[in-house]
Chains A and B, each alone.
Chain A
Amino acid sequence: MPASPPNCGSPDHNLHRRKFLQGLSAGAVSSMSWGGLFGAPAFAEIAKRKQKHCILLWLCGGPSQFETWDPKPGMSTGGPFKSIPTNVPGTHFSELLPKCASIADKLAIVRSMKTTAKEHTEGINLLQRGHSPRPPFTRPTIGSVLAQQLGQLESKIPNFILLDPCPEGNEFKGFKAGNWAGWLGADYSPVRVGGEFQIPDAHKLDSITEDDHEAREALRKFFSKKYENDRKSAAASSWNATFERVNGLMSCAHLFDLERIPQADRDRYGPGAFGQHALLARTLVEEGAPFVMVANGMPWDSHVFNHEIYQMVVPDLDNIIFQLTKDLEDRGMLEDTLVVAMGEFGRSPWINQARGRDHYPNAWSLAMAGGGVQGGALVGATDKYGAEVTEDPFNEENLFATIFSALGIDPHSEFDIPGFPTFHHVENKAAPISQILS
């Protein structure tokens, strides 16, 4: 083994072990040898990755591409909303997105998503996990994978935060109650906050001193770990992981308090629950959260009165994407933060008897902004009715490969899950959507 070069005596070299580990992604440590950590390229890659963040605006229910990113004005499928030009020549959005039209040069739009899942549960799983089910194995959701890959060891702020003020949501409610982290385990399941999901009892009692609190915690940790090791209990391991996260939440509970955010900021994001939680997501990312998912039930599932509902929900989304993108840019964070706005599929070109649009996976759109993607990019196309993809069809694997690539993660690398079959972050060597990667 070659000798290490002598250090220059700078105090920078006296890196505290704990600080050092905080600077490494959890996934990296779990999948690399200790010696490998000192390889300069690997370290640089990890150090770069650790600064990345992702905010997923989860438009559950399946947003209509016609009233957002792929309008068809004047066609029988187009609906009542017109299209407007954007600040990218040749690119038009729905007139319901005037603010996004003014920052189209910062957005990357994919108009050619083509997937297979037609129902919510199937679609949510597909677009949250990036792959169809392979029982008995449960693939982790994108949030859990990014929490592992981008998250910090011993971070006090949760690595996967789900902000969803709507406790219901039909099929999404069922999904929320399920297994988000899959084979990655409870360490990487989301901490859910929003609406009735507040963080309860997250404050240390005044009657306990800081020293007492730390001593108690050390003792609890010792016995818990001993119990877990002695019994080799997965349940105990999961419980300890949960407790660790709750313990961590005690030190960051205040970050989830909307009231702490300046009123002017809150006004800009609009009064609705989705906007307020998107703002909260921004502040959490500023505090170091690697992955925050913002949802609001399933409001995009417009089987009845599509246009009458979209007159409200799309302007809300328009403002949220605009404010989020501008805020991240103003704070110098846009380059390191990937924002994704999508649902589990799109909506049908035809209007049903209830003047709604139904589920439609054959041709749908999504938007991204920020880190790793090229602003102003417009990829794919659909026919004049918006019924079929005519250029560059992409599926969920291409999408996940894009997200991972944008965040500096090798999409084709293997999960480190001993005892499992070989699983990759993206299977089938699916290619990322290269046209939108910067």
Chain B
Amino acid sequence: MNPLTLKKGKEIDLPSHVLDLTLGPDKKLYASCLDGGVYEVSTAFKIISDSYKEIARHDNFASGINWSASQNTLISAGYGGDLKWIDPKEKKETRSVKAHNFWSWQSRISPDGKLVATTTGQYLCGGYEYEPAPETEPSVKVFDVATGELRHSFPHIPPVQSVAFSNNGKLLAAGNLMGEVILWDLEQDGKEIARIKTPDFTGWGIIKGHYYTGGVFALHFAPDDKSLYLAGMGSTTDPAAGNGKQLWQNFTWHDGIKKSSSAVKGEIGEGLMETLAFHPSGKFFVMAGRIFKGDWNAALFDHESGSRLHHQNVGFRISASAFTPDGKTLFLAGGKNQGNPAEERKWGRIIIYKVVS
């Protein structure tokens, strides 16, 4: 078997840092960006004009974009705490729901496309050492995609930065700044079934100042839904450096909470990992983010052994990733430095890779 590699294809510029992306209808790609724009992105190789077209706009950062094939709608989320339903064909907003009073940190659609989950929470000082204060609104909400109605509200300790549905759509998991992940069973009316607590993703800033940083930035259920992957950055004492380990860990919960595997020390550098996505084969996954120290910020890992299969430095910070359903293409999205604002430079980036094995 040939070694697994990524072959770089097209690099697409967008107006600002890409916070999320999804594959929509007709193999089209959609991106939500820091400037509030939601864009349809052309992945064609031969183009003359811009590679993107704005289809909706939030009045704040657009943090999430999701595609529901069953309901034939895109749903974006923003730092205004709002969700927007967008008709991809008409390229117009069809519904808006105020989900939170603070940011929507992350949003995800259920595998059947019927539910959309979003997380929120402002980190406010709650103790002498700047422990987060309790939430002032439910930190996790689940809405009905067809009607826009609220289906579930779950409490958590804010800020809750990541959320994931299980592959069978029955479970929901959400992780926060303090490395606490709660799992709920949606078929049992949202009953809490497990609570994973790990100190490994959270740092307390004794170097620069007293507060917590890091947290669980990405969650993904394993293909068999028997374990859950957490991704982020290892503990650091210098919040301003972002120099914790590039970290993923895998937990099971059926016989008590157990860490079943994690990134291997010699295979990781330093920097915050923001995204984790599984290849459709279920055999490996990509984890990507920012490089502080080391030689990669995007790597492929074997699900069974946990070993690193391929790694590379993409050249800019990655916030989102997605494989095509056929597994032949990987999209990595994020951004470079903004640069002098007067130059109005396009600093968002999406890179298209061919997955070669």
Contact = CB atoms under 8 A, between A and B. Distances in A.
A133 to B, nearest CB: 24
A77 B16 CA distance: 11
A387 B344 CA distance: 13
Nearest to B131: A271
Interface stretch (B85-93, B119-127, B189-197): B119-127
The list of the 8 closest CB pairs from A to B, nearest first, reads: A299-B209, A304-B242, A297-B209, A350-B338, A272-B125, A298-B208, A385-B341, A312-B123
A296 B60 CA distance: 31
A390 to B, nearest CB: 13
Interface of A: 60-61, 75-77, 80, 82, 165-170, 270-273, 275-276, 296-305, 308-309, 311-313, 315-316, 349-356, 385, 387
A298 B240 contact: yes
8 contacts: A61-B240, A80-B103, A169-B209, A298-B207, A299-B239, A309-B213, A311-B123, A352-B338
Contacts, number: 134
B209 A61 contact: yes
Given A60-B209, A82-B60, A355-B17, 5 more contacts: A61-B209, A301-B240, A305-B239, A313-B209, A353-B336
A270 B127 CA distance: 8
A351 B319 CA distance: 15
B290 interface: yes
Interface in B84-125: 103, 122-125
B210 A276 contact: no
A312 B124 contact: yes
Nearest to B132: A312
A297 B34 CA distance: 30
Given A76-B341, A300-B209, A271 B127 contact: yes
Nearest to A275: B125
Given A311-B123, A354-B290, A303 B211 contact: no
Interface in B303-350: 316-317, 335-342, 344
B64 to A, nearest CB: 14
Contacts of A273: 128-130, 210
B39 interface: no
Given A61-B208, A61-B209, A169-B209, A271 B240 contact: no
A350 B103 contact: no
Contact of A304 (B210, B239, B335): B239
B208 A353 contact: no
B210 A299 contact: yes
A170 B272 CA distance: 21
Contact of A271 (B128, B213, B337): B128
A76 B35 contact: yes
